[in-house]
């Protein structure tokens, strides 16, 4: 483990961190599937006391500055946030300027390993001395898909936030199922194990609003609370403030919904 610097958030983003000194961060390694060492960025408030944990799962670009900042914002709300480097096993993120290589990397990654690594992250948070025992998860794009997978195929979470998780209904553009991705998370939605909040852009096609409605219907069969919101005037990745897809209004509305959702479901009983 090594200390990490907490940087101020970009100006004007939802939940912006204005006092980095109120947070403490470190680069950590935890045990994932099969005991494999997985990298992560862990951040929490410097004030003492027990806190709920939250697993943060990055988008296709990897564990970059944006996801670290989102983790900082979640920590500032009173969480121990652990952003997982889902590319640890691959040695780093794929080249973002090569779409074919990017897609090939994503579709070749094993859901079984990803699930085990995320369970390891949740277990790490729950085992900490400062833990309350409550753990949530939030993920964006590919991270949204993994959030849904974790919430439906595992019992580790008390709350899940799926932000425009793509390919929840199929393994790839060409196949519903592959050896690496044998069961689409949508097919597991009836086994949802915790409350779910999902966000879909009205202008997005992966997932589309229609797929969001199907997710709502299937997940509701679990008996868990399910909310799937469609954000008008927004497409894919509308919360990513470093990308042209960023939409300040919908991003602020999403944050206004995420904060009380986590507050309700991660509060100590």
- pLDDT per position as a tens digit, 147-165: 999 999 999 999 999 999 9
CATH of residue 62's domain is 3.40.50.1820
The reply to whether 120 falls in a domain is yes
Q: pLDDT-derived band of residue 92, with 50, 70 and 90 as boundaries?
A: confident
The reply to whether 40 falls in a domain is yes
The reply to whether 149 falls in a domain is yes
Q: How big is the CA angle at 42 (ends 20 and 73), to the nearest 5 degrees?
A: 45
| More confidently predicted of 257 and 102 | 257
The reply to whether 19 falls in a domain is no
Q: How big is the CA angle at 215 (ends 209 and 217), to the nearest 5 degrees?
A: 110
What's the pLDDT score for residue 23?
A: 97
Domain of 194 in residue numbering reads as: 2-6+24-266
- CA 148 – CA 133 distance, rounded (Å): 20
The reply to whether 144 falls in a domain is yes
Please state the rounded mean pLDDT for residues 213-234: 98
Q: Burial letters for 233-249: b for 16+ Cβ neighbours within 10 Å, e otherwise? A: ebbbbbbbbeeebbbee
What's the pLDDT score for residue 193?
A: 98
Specify the pairing of strand 37-45 against strand 23-31. antiparallel
Domains contained in the chain, number = 1
What's the pLDDT score for residue 96?
A: 81
- pTM for this prediction: 0.97
The reply to whether 177 falls in a domain is yes
């Amino acid at each position: 483990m090594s200390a990490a610097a907490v940087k101020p958030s970009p100006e004007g983003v939802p939940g912006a961190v204005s006092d980095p000194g109120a947070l403490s961060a470190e680069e950590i390694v935890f045990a994932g599937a099969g005991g494999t060492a997985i990298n992560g960025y862990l951040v929490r408030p410097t004030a003492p006391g027990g806190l709920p944990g939250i697993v943060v799962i990055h988008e296709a670009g990897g564990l970059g500055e944006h996801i670290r900042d989102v983790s900082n914002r979640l920590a500032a709300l009173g969480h121990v946030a652990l952003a997982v480097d889902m590319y640890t096993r691959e040695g780093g993120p794929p080249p973002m300027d090569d779409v074919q290589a990017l897609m090939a990397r994503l579709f070749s990654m094993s859901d079984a390993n990803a699930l085990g690594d995320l369970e390891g992250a949740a277990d790490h948070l729950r085992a900490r001395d400062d833990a309350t025992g409550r753990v949530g998860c939030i993920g964006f794009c590919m991270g949204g898909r993994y959030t849904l997978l974790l919430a439906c195929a595992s019992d580790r979470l008390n709350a899940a936030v799926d932000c425009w998780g793509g390919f929840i209904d199929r393994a790839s553009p060409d196949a519903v199922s592959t050896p690496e991705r044998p069961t689409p998370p949508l097919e597991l939605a009836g086994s949802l194990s915790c409350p779910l909040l999902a966000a879909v852009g009205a202008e997005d096609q992966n997932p589309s609003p229609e797929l969001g409605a199907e997710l709502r219907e299937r997940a509701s069969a679990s008996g868990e609370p399910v909310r799937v919101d469609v954000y008008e005037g927004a497409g894919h990745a509308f919360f990513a403030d470093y990308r042209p897809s960023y939409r300040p209004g919908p991003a602020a509305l999403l944050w206004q919904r995420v904060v009380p959702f986590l507050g309700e479901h991660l509060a100590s009983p």
